[in-house]
Amino acid sequence: MRFLEIKDWTPGYLNVTPQHMTILARCEVCGSEREFDRTNLPFGVRHALITDIEARLRCVACGAKGGRLRFGSYTTNEKSRLPD
């Protein structure tokens, strides 16, 4: 399974991020990534700016503060990208 990131794109606010989209939180210090779970957030965060959320991230692997959210989706079907 591969994560296809939408390059150079951000929804701006978390609440306008399409539900089918996968969000990965990436630590810029150690490079670790984990899925960002939108279903269990405090109310104040649900409508927050993406940049504010990024600033509040804390890496579970190395403890570094801050990070980057990547938007996209997982793909398993490479054939769908080939012409008929």
Among 25, 27, 50, 57, which residue interacts with Zn ion (rule: CB under 5 A)? 27
Q: Which residues have a Cβ under 8 Å from the Cβ of 47 and sit 6 or more positions away?
A: 13, 14, 15
State how far the Cα of 77 lies from the Cα of 47, in Å rounded to an integer.
33
Residue number with CB closer to Zn ion (14 or 27): 27
Contact call for residue 24 and Zn ion (CB under 5 A)? no
Q: Kindly tell me which residue out of 29, 33, 34, 38 binds Zn ion, with binding defined by CB under 5 A.
A: 29
Measured from the CB atom, the residue of 12 and 63 that comes closer to Zn ion is 63
57 neighbors 28 (Cβ within 8 angstroms): no
Tell me the C-alpha distance between 11 and 30, whole Å.
Answer: 25
| Residue 59 contacts Zn ion per CB under 5 A | yes
**Which parts of this chain interact with Zn ion (CB under 5 A)?**
27, 29-30, 32, 59, 61-62, 64
